Protein backbone atom coordinates (compact mmCIF):
# COMPACT_ATOMS: atom_id res chain seq x y z
CA UNK A 1 0.00 0.00 0.00
CA UNK A 2 2.80 2.34 0.86
CA UNK A 3 4.41 1.49 -2.44
CA UNK A 4 1.30 2.48 -4.42
CA UNK A 5 1.06 5.79 -2.55
CA UNK A 6 4.71 6.50 -3.29
CA UNK A 7 4.20 5.88 -7.02
CA UNK A 8 1.26 8.24 -7.06
CA UNK A 9 3.29 10.97 -5.37
CA UNK A 10 6.14 10.55 -7.86
CA UNK A 11 3.75 10.84 -10.79
CA UNK A 12 2.21 14.00 -9.28
CA UNK A 13 5.65 15.55 -8.81
CA UNK A 14 6.53 14.78 -12.43
CA UNK A 15 3.41 16.51 -13.66
CA UNK A 16 4.17 19.56 -11.49
CA UNK A 17 7.74 19.73 -12.82
CA UNK A 18 6.53 19.46 -16.38
CA UNK A 19 3.94 22.16 -15.77
CA UNK A 20 6.55 24.43 -14.21
CA UNK A 21 8.88 23.89 -17.14
CA UNK A 22 6.14 24.71 -19.64
CA UNK A 23 5.22 27.83 -17.69
CA UNK A 24 8.84 28.99 -17.74
CA UNK A 25 9.09 28.46 -21.50
CA UNK A 26 5.91 30.49 -22.01
CA UNK A 27 7.14 33.35 -19.87
CA UNK A 28 10.45 33.44 -21.76
CA UNK A 29 8.61 33.54 -25.07
CA UNK A 30 6.45 36.47 -23.93
CA UNK A 31 9.52 38.33 -22.71
CA UNK A 32 11.32 37.80 -26.03
CA UNK A 33 8.24 38.98 -27.90
CA UNK A 34 8.06 42.18 -25.84
CA UNK A 35 11.79 42.79 -26.30
CA UNK A 36 11.39 42.37 -30.06
CA UNK A 37 8.56 44.91 -30.15
CA UNK A 38 10.63 47.38 -28.14
CA UNK A 39 13.54 47.03 -30.56
CA UNK A 40 11.18 47.51 -33.51
CA UNK A 41 9.68 50.66 -31.96
CA UNK A 42 13.16 52.03 -31.23
CA UNK A 43 14.25 51.46 -34.84
CA UNK A 44 11.06 53.07 -36.15
CA UNK A 45 11.49 56.13 -33.92
CA UNK A 46 15.13 56.49 -35.05
CA UNK A 47 14.09 56.30 -38.68
CA UNK A 48 11.44 58.98 -38.12
CA UNK A 49 14.01 61.26 -36.54
CA UNK A 50 16.33 60.85 -39.54
CA UNK A 51 13.50 61.67 -41.95
CA UNK A 52 12.49 64.63 -39.78
CA UNK A 53 16.01 66.02 -39.80
CA UNK A 54 15.95 65.99 -43.60
CA UNK A 55 12.55 67.61 -43.83
CA UNK A 56 12.69 70.52 -41.44
CA UNK A 57 9.07 71.43 -42.05
CA UNK A 58 7.87 68.08 -40.57
CA UNK A 59 7.08 67.37 -36.93
CA UNK A 60 9.67 65.75 -34.67
CA UNK A 61 8.32 63.88 -31.64
CA UNK A 62 5.11 65.86 -31.96
CA UNK A 63 6.79 69.33 -31.60
CA UNK A 64 6.51 71.79 -34.52
CA UNK A 65 9.68 73.68 -35.34
CA UNK A 66 9.41 77.46 -35.20
CA UNK A 67 10.03 79.27 -38.52
CA UNK A 68 13.23 81.31 -38.78
CA UNK A 69 12.39 85.01 -39.04
CA UNK A 70 15.04 87.11 -40.77
CA UNK A 71 15.07 90.77 -39.78
CA UNK A 72 16.67 93.01 -42.41
CA UNK A 73 18.56 96.11 -41.36
CA UNK A 74 16.70 99.41 -41.84
CA UNK A 75 17.68 101.29 -45.02
CA UNK A 76 20.61 103.62 -44.64
CA UNK A 77 19.44 107.26 -44.74
CA UNK A 78 20.65 109.43 -47.60
CA UNK A 79 22.63 112.60 -47.02
CA UNK A 80 19.55 114.56 -48.05
CA UNK A 81 17.43 112.83 -45.43
CA UNK A 82 20.05 113.48 -42.77
CA UNK A 83 20.09 117.17 -43.74
CA UNK A 84 16.28 117.35 -43.58
CA UNK A 85 15.87 118.26 -47.25
CA UNK A 86 12.80 116.06 -47.66
CA UNK A 87 10.94 118.39 -45.33
CA UNK A 88 10.87 121.12 -47.99
CA UNK A 89 7.44 121.38 -49.64
CA UNK A 90 6.92 122.17 -53.31
CA UNK A 91 3.95 122.92 -55.54
CA UNK A 92 4.34 119.73 -57.58
CA UNK A 93 4.72 117.44 -54.55
CA UNK A 94 7.94 115.92 -55.91
CA UNK A 95 9.50 112.93 -54.15
CA UNK A 96 13.01 114.20 -54.90
CA UNK A 97 14.47 116.44 -52.21
CA UNK A 98 16.41 118.40 -54.86
CA UNK A 99 15.05 119.43 -58.25
CA UNK A 100 15.87 121.93 -60.96
CA UNK A 101 14.23 122.59 -64.35
CA UNK A 102 15.69 125.20 -66.67
CA UNK A 103 15.10 126.33 -70.23
CA UNK A 104 18.23 125.22 -72.11
CA UNK A 105 18.12 128.11 -74.57
CA UNK A 106 17.29 131.03 -72.28
CA UNK A 107 18.77 129.59 -69.02
CA UNK A 108 15.52 130.60 -67.33
CA UNK A 109 14.82 128.68 -64.13
CA UNK A 110 11.32 127.22 -64.39
CA UNK A 111 11.35 125.17 -61.21
CA UNK A 112 13.80 124.84 -58.36
CA UNK A 113 13.92 123.07 -55.02
CA UNK A 114 17.03 122.99 -52.86
CA UNK A 115 19.04 123.61 -56.02
CA UNK A 116 22.21 124.69 -54.20
CA UNK A 117 22.38 121.69 -51.86
CA UNK A 118 25.60 119.71 -52.36
CA UNK A 119 24.98 115.96 -52.24
CA UNK A 120 26.51 112.68 -53.43
CA UNK A 121 25.61 112.15 -57.09
CA UNK A 122 26.16 108.38 -57.54
CA UNK A 123 26.38 107.29 -61.19
CA UNK A 124 25.62 110.76 -62.51
CA UNK A 125 29.41 110.85 -62.12
CA UNK A 126 29.68 108.73 -65.27
CA UNK A 127 28.45 111.65 -67.36
CA UNK A 128 31.68 113.48 -66.59
CA UNK A 129 33.59 110.24 -67.22
CA UNK A 130 32.02 110.21 -70.67
CA UNK A 131 32.87 113.86 -71.27
CA UNK A 132 36.56 113.20 -70.56
CA UNK A 133 36.79 109.98 -72.61
CA UNK A 134 34.93 111.35 -75.61
CA UNK A 135 36.80 114.63 -75.56
CA UNK A 136 40.20 112.91 -75.46
CA UNK A 137 39.61 111.38 -78.92
CA UNK A 138 41.24 108.12 -77.88
CA UNK A 139 40.90 105.10 -80.24
CA UNK A 140 37.43 103.71 -79.62
CA UNK A 141 38.38 100.33 -81.11
CA UNK A 142 41.29 99.82 -78.68
CA UNK A 143 40.65 96.76 -76.49
CA UNK A 144 40.45 97.18 -72.72
CA UNK A 145 40.57 94.23 -70.32
CA UNK A 146 38.75 94.18 -66.99
CA UNK A 147 41.15 93.50 -64.10
CA UNK A 148 40.78 92.90 -60.37
CA UNK A 149 41.38 96.63 -59.88
CA UNK A 150 38.00 97.29 -61.52
CA UNK A 151 36.06 95.16 -59.03
CA UNK A 152 33.91 97.25 -56.70
CA UNK A 153 35.28 97.17 -53.16
CA UNK A 154 33.33 100.30 -52.14
CA UNK A 155 29.79 98.89 -52.26
CA UNK A 156 30.37 95.28 -53.31
CA UNK A 157 28.19 95.65 -56.41
CA UNK A 158 28.10 92.86 -58.98
CA UNK A 159 28.90 92.97 -62.68
CA UNK A 160 28.49 90.71 -65.68
CA UNK A 161 31.89 91.83 -66.92
CA UNK A 162 34.08 89.21 -65.29
CA UNK A 163 37.75 89.80 -64.59
CA UNK A 164 39.59 89.03 -67.82
CA UNK A 165 36.79 90.27 -70.09
CA UNK A 166 38.05 92.37 -73.01
CA UNK A 167 35.90 94.93 -74.82
CA UNK A 168 36.66 97.91 -77.00
CA UNK A 169 36.86 101.36 -75.44
CA UNK A 170 33.72 102.27 -77.39
CA UNK A 171 31.80 99.32 -75.93
CA UNK A 172 33.01 100.14 -72.42
CA UNK A 173 31.83 103.74 -72.80
CA UNK A 174 28.47 102.58 -74.17
CA UNK A 175 27.83 100.27 -71.23
CA UNK A 176 29.00 102.83 -68.69
CA UNK A 177 26.67 105.54 -69.96
CA UNK A 178 23.63 103.48 -70.96
CA UNK A 179 23.59 100.71 -68.34
CA UNK A 180 25.73 102.39 -65.67
CA UNK A 181 28.27 99.52 -65.80
CA UNK A 182 30.66 100.25 -62.94
CA UNK A 183 33.55 98.03 -64.04
CA UNK A 184 33.40 99.53 -67.51
CA UNK A 185 33.57 103.07 -66.11
CA UNK A 186 36.44 102.20 -63.78
CA UNK A 187 38.37 100.47 -66.58
CA UNK A 188 38.00 103.60 -68.74
CA UNK A 189 39.61 105.72 -66.04
CA UNK A 190 42.27 103.16 -65.14
CA UNK A 191 43.47 102.77 -68.74
CA UNK A 192 43.48 106.49 -69.52
CA UNK A 193 46.98 107.76 -70.43
CA UNK A 194 48.63 108.51 -67.09
CA UNK A 195 46.30 106.24 -65.14
CA UNK A 196 43.54 106.90 -62.64
CA UNK A 197 45.14 109.87 -60.83
CA UNK A 198 45.44 111.77 -64.11
CA UNK A 199 41.89 110.87 -65.12
CA UNK A 200 40.34 112.06 -61.84
CA UNK A 201 42.35 115.30 -61.98
CA UNK A 202 40.98 115.89 -65.48
CA UNK A 203 37.42 115.34 -64.24
CA UNK A 204 37.88 118.01 -61.57
CA UNK A 205 39.68 120.35 -63.95
CA UNK A 206 36.82 120.06 -66.45
CA UNK A 207 34.27 120.78 -63.73
CA UNK A 208 36.20 123.91 -62.74
CA UNK A 209 36.46 125.00 -66.38
CA UNK A 210 32.68 124.69 -66.77
CA UNK A 211 32.12 126.77 -63.63
CA UNK A 212 30.91 123.84 -61.50
CA UNK A 213 32.13 125.31 -58.22
CA UNK A 214 30.19 122.92 -55.96
CA UNK A 215 31.49 119.74 -57.63
CA UNK A 216 34.24 117.30 -56.67
CA UNK A 217 35.20 113.87 -58.00
CA UNK A 218 37.38 111.15 -56.47
CA UNK A 219 36.74 108.29 -58.93
CA UNK A 220 34.90 107.70 -62.25
CA UNK A 221 31.99 105.41 -61.27
CA UNK A 222 30.01 107.26 -58.60
CA UNK A 223 30.22 104.43 -56.08
CA UNK A 224 31.97 106.78 -53.67
CA UNK A 225 29.78 109.21 -51.75
CA UNK A 226 32.64 111.72 -51.99
CA UNK A 227 31.65 112.40 -55.59
CA UNK A 228 29.38 115.38 -54.92
CA UNK A 229 27.66 118.19 -56.76
CA UNK A 230 24.64 120.50 -56.76
CA UNK A 231 21.63 120.63 -59.09
CA UNK A 232 22.94 123.89 -60.54
CA UNK A 233 26.30 122.35 -61.40
CA UNK A 234 24.71 119.21 -62.84
CA UNK A 235 22.50 121.29 -65.13
CA UNK A 236 25.69 122.91 -66.41
CA UNK A 237 27.23 119.47 -67.00
CA UNK A 238 24.15 118.21 -68.86
CA UNK A 239 24.25 121.26 -71.13
CA UNK A 240 27.93 120.66 -71.93
CA UNK A 241 27.51 116.91 -72.46
CA UNK A 242 24.51 117.47 -74.75
CA UNK A 243 26.81 119.28 -77.17
CA UNK A 244 28.65 115.98 -77.78
CA UNK A 245 26.87 113.79 -80.36
CA UNK A 246 28.58 110.63 -79.05
CA UNK A 247 27.25 111.20 -75.55
CA UNK A 248 23.76 112.00 -76.86
CA UNK A 249 23.68 108.74 -78.79
CA UNK A 250 25.10 106.47 -76.09
CA UNK A 251 23.06 107.80 -73.15
CA UNK A 252 19.75 107.51 -75.01
CA UNK A 253 20.42 104.11 -76.58
CA UNK A 254 17.67 101.75 -75.38
CA UNK A 255 19.70 98.54 -75.61
CA UNK A 256 23.04 97.13 -76.65
CA UNK A 257 24.67 93.72 -77.08
CA UNK A 258 28.30 92.80 -76.51
CA UNK A 259 30.08 89.54 -77.31
CA UNK A 260 31.97 88.13 -74.34
CA UNK A 261 33.78 84.95 -75.32
CA UNK A 262 31.18 82.52 -76.63
CA UNK A 263 28.32 84.47 -75.02
CA UNK A 264 26.35 87.52 -76.09
CA UNK A 265 25.27 89.82 -73.27
CA UNK A 266 22.20 92.01 -73.63
CA UNK A 267 22.24 95.35 -71.79
CA UNK A 268 19.37 97.80 -71.42
CA UNK A 269 19.06 101.46 -70.54
CA UNK A 270 18.62 102.16 -66.83
CA UNK A 271 16.09 104.88 -67.72
CA UNK A 272 12.83 103.36 -69.00
CA UNK A 273 11.68 106.78 -70.26
CA UNK A 274 14.04 106.33 -73.22
CA UNK A 275 11.56 103.75 -74.57
CA UNK A 276 8.50 105.91 -73.91
CA UNK A 277 7.21 107.53 -77.14
CA UNK A 278 5.76 110.40 -75.12
CA UNK A 279 9.27 111.55 -74.28
CA UNK A 280 11.79 113.26 -76.56
CA UNK A 281 15.05 112.78 -74.66
CA UNK A 282 18.32 114.14 -76.01
CA UNK A 283 20.60 113.04 -73.16
CA UNK A 284 20.09 111.35 -69.80
CA UNK A 285 21.81 109.59 -66.89
CA UNK A 286 20.53 107.82 -63.79
CA UNK A 287 22.29 107.10 -60.51
CA UNK A 288 21.85 105.44 -57.15
CA UNK A 289 23.77 104.71 -53.99
CA UNK A 290 22.20 104.78 -50.54
CA UNK A 291 23.94 108.05 -49.62
CA UNK A 292 22.63 109.78 -52.76
CA UNK A 293 19.17 108.27 -53.14
CA UNK A 294 17.68 107.87 -56.62
CA UNK A 295 19.02 110.46 -59.08
CA UNK A 296 18.23 111.50 -62.66
CA UNK A 297 19.39 114.17 -65.11
CA UNK A 298 17.92 114.72 -68.58
CA UNK A 299 17.85 117.01 -71.56
CA UNK A 300 14.43 116.79 -73.16
CA UNK A 301 11.95 118.71 -75.29
CA UNK A 302 8.51 119.44 -73.83
CA UNK A 303 5.82 121.63 -75.39
CA UNK A 304 8.32 122.90 -77.94
CA UNK A 305 10.89 123.94 -75.33
CA UNK A 306 14.28 122.34 -74.72
CA UNK A 307 14.59 121.72 -71.01
CA UNK A 308 17.23 120.42 -68.63
CA UNK A 309 15.92 118.49 -65.61
CA UNK A 310 17.81 117.48 -62.48
CA UNK A 311 16.34 115.28 -59.73
CA UNK A 312 18.46 114.27 -56.73
CA UNK A 313 17.82 112.20 -53.62
CA UNK A 314 14.46 110.78 -54.67
CA UNK A 315 12.82 108.55 -52.10
CA UNK A 316 11.82 105.48 -54.15
CA UNK A 317 13.13 103.43 -57.06
CA UNK A 318 10.55 104.76 -59.54
CA UNK A 319 9.87 108.12 -57.93
CA UNK A 320 12.56 109.96 -59.92
CA UNK A 321 10.72 108.95 -63.10
CA UNK A 322 7.43 109.89 -61.49
CA UNK A 323 8.85 113.33 -60.70
CA UNK A 324 9.91 113.76 -64.33
CA UNK A 325 6.38 112.84 -65.43
CA UNK A 326 4.88 115.36 -62.99
CA UNK A 327 7.11 118.12 -64.36
CA UNK A 328 6.28 117.18 -67.95
CA UNK A 329 2.52 117.31 -67.32
CA UNK A 330 2.92 120.62 -65.49
CA UNK A 331 4.90 122.17 -68.36
CA UNK A 332 2.42 120.89 -70.96
CA UNK A 333 -0.62 122.17 -69.06
CA UNK A 334 0.94 125.49 -68.02
CA UNK A 335 2.83 127.39 -70.71
CA UNK A 336 5.62 128.75 -68.58
CA UNK A 337 6.53 132.42 -68.60
CA UNK A 338 8.83 134.38 -66.36
CA UNK A 339 6.03 135.54 -64.05
CA UNK A 340 4.51 132.06 -63.69
CA UNK A 341 7.60 130.05 -62.83
CA UNK A 342 7.81 128.11 -59.58
CA UNK A 343 10.85 128.76 -57.47
CA UNK A 344 11.20 126.93 -54.18
CA UNK A 345 14.66 126.93 -52.69
CA UNK A 346 16.18 126.33 -49.27
CA UNK A 347 19.68 127.33 -48.33
CA UNK A 348 21.69 124.23 -47.42
CA UNK A 349 25.41 124.07 -46.79
CA UNK A 350 27.51 121.41 -48.56
CA UNK A 351 27.67 118.07 -46.78
CA UNK A 352 31.06 116.43 -46.58
CA UNK A 353 31.36 112.71 -47.37
The total number of residues written for the chain in this structure? 353
SS3 label, residue 144: strand
pLDDT at 162 over 80: yes
pLDDT of residue 38: 52
pLDDT of residue 317: 77
Average pLDDT over residues 74-97: 91
**pLDDT, tens digit, 9 for 90 and up, residues 7-45:** 564 455 454 454 454 455 455 556 555 655 555 555 555
Domain boundaries, the chain: 79-340
Q: In Å, how far from its chain's centre is CA 123?
A: 12
Residues forming a β-bridge with 96: 314
Phi–psi pair at 315, nearest 5 degrees: -75, -40
In angstroms, the Cα distances linking 338 to 1, 103, 111, 307, 331 are: 150, 11, 11, 15, 13
Helix (H) or strand (E) holding 19: helix 2-54
CA-based radius of gyration for the chain: 38
Catalytic residue among 126, 206, 225, 229: 126
Mean pLDDT of the chain: 84
Examine the residue annotation and report whether 123 is marked as an active-site residue of this protein.
yes
Of 95-104, 301-310, 338-347, the one with minimum mean pLDDT is: 338-347
Average pLDDT over residues 338-345: 48
pLDDT of residue 251: 98
**pLDDT, tens digit, 9 for 90 and up, residues 289-332:** 999 999 999 999 999 999 999 999 998 778 999 999 999 999 99
pLDDT of residue 14: 53
**pLDDT, tens digit, 9 for 90 and up, residues 43-82:** 555 544 444 444 444 444 455 566 666 666 667 899 999 9
- Residue 93's pLDDT band, with cuts at 50, 70 and 90, is very high
pLDDT of residue 277: 95
Helix (H) or strand (E) holding 295: strand 293-302
pLDDT of residue 47: 47
Examine the residue annotation and report whether 126 is marked as an active-site residue of this protein.
yes
pLDDT of residue 350: 44
pLDDT at 221 over 70: yes
Percent of the chain with pLDDT over 70: 74
Catalytic residue among 112, 134, 180, 314: 180
Determine the topology of domain 79-340 in CATH. Answer: Beta-lactamase (3.40.710)
Catalytic residue among 78, 96, 112, 123: 123
Which stretches of 190-248 are assigned E, i.e. beta strand?
228-229
Average pLDDT over residues 112-133: 97
pLDDT of residue 349: 42
pLDDT of residue 76: 86
- Residue 166's pLDDT band, with cuts at 50, 70 and 90, is very high
pLDDT at 140 over 90: yes
pLDDT of residue 334: 82
pLDDT of residue 97: 97
Average pLDDT over residues 263-274: 96
- Number of continuous H segments (helices) and E segments (strands) in the chain: 9, 11
Amino acid sequence: MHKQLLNRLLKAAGFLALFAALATLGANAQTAKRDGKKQQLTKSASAKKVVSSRKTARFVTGVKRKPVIRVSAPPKPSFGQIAGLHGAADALDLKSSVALVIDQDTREVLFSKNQTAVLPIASLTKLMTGVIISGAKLPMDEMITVTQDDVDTEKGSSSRLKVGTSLSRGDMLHLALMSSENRAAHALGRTYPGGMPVFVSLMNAKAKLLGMTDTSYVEPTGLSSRNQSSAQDLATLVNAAHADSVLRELTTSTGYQVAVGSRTLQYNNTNRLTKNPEWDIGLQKTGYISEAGQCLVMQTKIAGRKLIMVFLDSAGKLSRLGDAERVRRWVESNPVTGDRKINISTAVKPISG
